Each structure stands twice: as structure tokens, then as C-alpha cells.
Amino acid sequence: MSMISDNLASVNAQIHAACEEFGRKPQSVRLLAVSKTFPHQAVREAYAAGQRSFGENYIQEGVEKTLALVDLPDIEWHMIGPIQSNKTRLVAEHFHWVHSVDRLKIAQRLSEQRPVGLPALQVCLQVNIDGGPNKSGCLPSEAVQLARDICQLQNLQLRGLMVIPEPAPDFIAACAVLMSAKQLFDSIKEQIPGLDTLSMGMSADLRAAVKEGSTMVRVGTAIFGTRV
Ligand SMILES: *Cc1c(COP(=O)(O)O)cnc(C)c1O
């Protein structure tokens, strides 16, 4: 087995173990393999090992990989990085999912620019859950209204929320922030019952994220290795 397929097996086993530990169904947590900075050959290797969903942060780099891998029929591309409004067209044309929608203007452009004939772009609203300095994400207090507005857009389907908390000093602290994301998600779901995706958890806080109700963990380093 290759290193990537070994790593994937190990990450899937970790997700499985965390689900068992915290009483979650194993199928209730999806793995998004974050392939940013790694070449398309690495994605192909992960695909060969059974992985289908991949996350990219940089639009140009992501588009190049989607084009290099068009022969893989059921691959699913997720944009998880910041989106400037002059780059929305590339995202609307080449991705299946976007986790990093944090303002209405971006959502409107993505909907307008989604090519006719493609299914709706699957969207998560990014929320700055802990007031972290990276500044991406809407305020928690803005999330309900923004979610409602996004639901009105014809070519988008709102699936849920994404959060990227600041690194926490320990498990307990990580859980506290992730729990507040789950509470916000649940409160928005009361008004928009179709939501099914809480995108949270990375290599370092995967177990805490599963405990607190993540439905999609985004893992890069533990699958592809350290980024340079
Ligand atoms: C890079 C990145 C990840 C993956 O992080 P790792 O620590 O490598 O697992 C997940 N989510 C987002 C938004 C990222 O930018």
C-alpha cells in the first residue's frame, strides 16, 4: 500500500473510533480530503484508495486539479478557502461544493454564474465562531439572516455551516468552541430544516469535532503529509 492509502485508512479508522467512543453512527461523519498544495497525482492516489471528496483552498490551483482529473467520474470538489468576488465564476464553474461563503454578495454571484445544466452548487455558510483574527466568516449573530437569504438563491443549495476555530490549548477547550458551533447550527436548523452539514474538525481536532457533532471533517496533513 502507498503512504497516502495507509494514511487514509488510518484517518478513517480514527473517525470510526471517535464515532464509537461518542455514540455516533460511522456513516454520519464524512471525510473531506484537503489536497491543497499537493499535486493532482496525490489526489489520484487517494481516489484509487477509495476517497471521493477533495477540498481545495486556492481557486486557481483547485481549478487546475479539476481539469487534470476530469477522467475521474464521481470525484467531488469542495472549495474551502477565501473567495474574492472577482473569482466567483471559476468556483461556480468547476466545484460541486463551497464551504467558505461568508457574505451575500459572494452567494449571489455564485448563483448567477452557476452554469446552466449543472446541479445546484452545494453551499455552507462560514461562521467566525470564536471571533478569531483570520476574519473569514460572518458573525454568529448574522448567520440566521444570511442563511435565509442564501436559501432564496436559485442555483445554490444551502447545506449547513463551516467553522475554522483557532487552535485550542486542549481537548476541553476545543470542545467548548465546537459545541457553540453545533448549537448555532441546531438553532438555524429549526428555521431551515433541510440543513444536514456541519463542516468542522481538521487533523488536530478531529476527535473533539466528532464528539460535538461534526458531519464533515476536513483533513489534509494526516492524509497527504506536511505542507511546505
Ligand atoms: C488546510 C485546511 C484544512 C486541513 O488542515 P490540516 O491541519 O492539514 O488537516 C481544513 N480546513 C481548511 C479550511 C483548511 O484551510
Where in 102-215 does DSSP place strands (E)? 121-126, 156-162, 197-199
Q: How far apart are alpha carbons 224 and 64 in whole angstroms? A: 18
- In this prediction, residue 135 carries a pLDDT of 75
Query: pLDDT tens digits for 44-88?
Result: 999 999 999 999 999 999 999 999 999 999 999 999 999 999 999
Q: Which residue has the higher pLDDT, 50 or 1?
A: 50
Q: What angle do CA 219, 171, 31 make, to 5 degrees?
A: 20
Q: What is the CATH number of the domain that holds 28?
A: 3.20.20.10
Query: 174 is written with which cell numbers?
Result: 476545543
- In this prediction, residue 228 carries a pLDDT of 85
Q: Report the number of distinct structural domains present in the chain.
A: 1
Asked if residue 209 has its Cβ within 6 Å of ligand 1, the reply is no
For ligand 1, atom 7, the nearest C-alpha belongs to: 203
- In this prediction, residue 54 carries a pLDDT of 98
- In the reported structure, the alpha carbon of residue 29 is separated from the centroid of ligand 1 by a whole-number distance in angstroms of 16
Residues 6 or more apart from 50 whose CB is under 8 A from it?
8
- In the reported structure, the alpha carbon of residue 126 is separated from the centroid of ligand 1 by a whole-number distance in angstroms of 14
Q: Which residue has the higher pLDDT, 228 or 152?
A: 152
Average pLDDT over residues 161-172: 96
Please determine, for residue 26, whether its predicted confidence score (pLDDT) is greater than 80: yes
- In the reported structure, the alpha carbon of residue 217 is separated from the centroid of ligand 1 by a whole-number distance in angstroms of 9
Percent of the chain with pLDDT over 90: 96
- In this prediction, residue 190 carries a pLDDT of 97
**8 A C-beta contact, residue 133 and residue 127:** no
Range of the domain at 23: 3-224
Asked if residue 78 has its Cβ within 6 Å of ligand 1, the reply is no
Query: pLDDT tens digits for 111-163?
Result: 999 999 999 999 999 999 998 876 799 999 999 999 999 999 999 999 999 99
- In this prediction, residue 179 carries a pLDDT of 98
Where in the chain does DSSP place strands (E)? 30-34, 53-56, 76-79, 97-101, 121-126, 156-162, 197-199, 216-219
Please determine, for residue 1, whether its predicted confidence score (pLDDT) is greater than 60: no
Query: pLDDT tens digits for 5-18?
Result: 999 999 999 999 99
Query: pLDDT tens digits for 180-222?
Result: 999 999 999 999 999 999 999 999 999 999 999 999 999 999 9
**Structure-derived torsion over alpha carbons of residues 94, 218, 83, 98, reported in degrees to the nearest 10:** 50
Helix, strand, coil percent values for the chain (each to nearest 5): 45, 20, 35
Average pLDDT over residues 18-23: 98
- In this prediction, residue 132 carries a pLDDT of 80
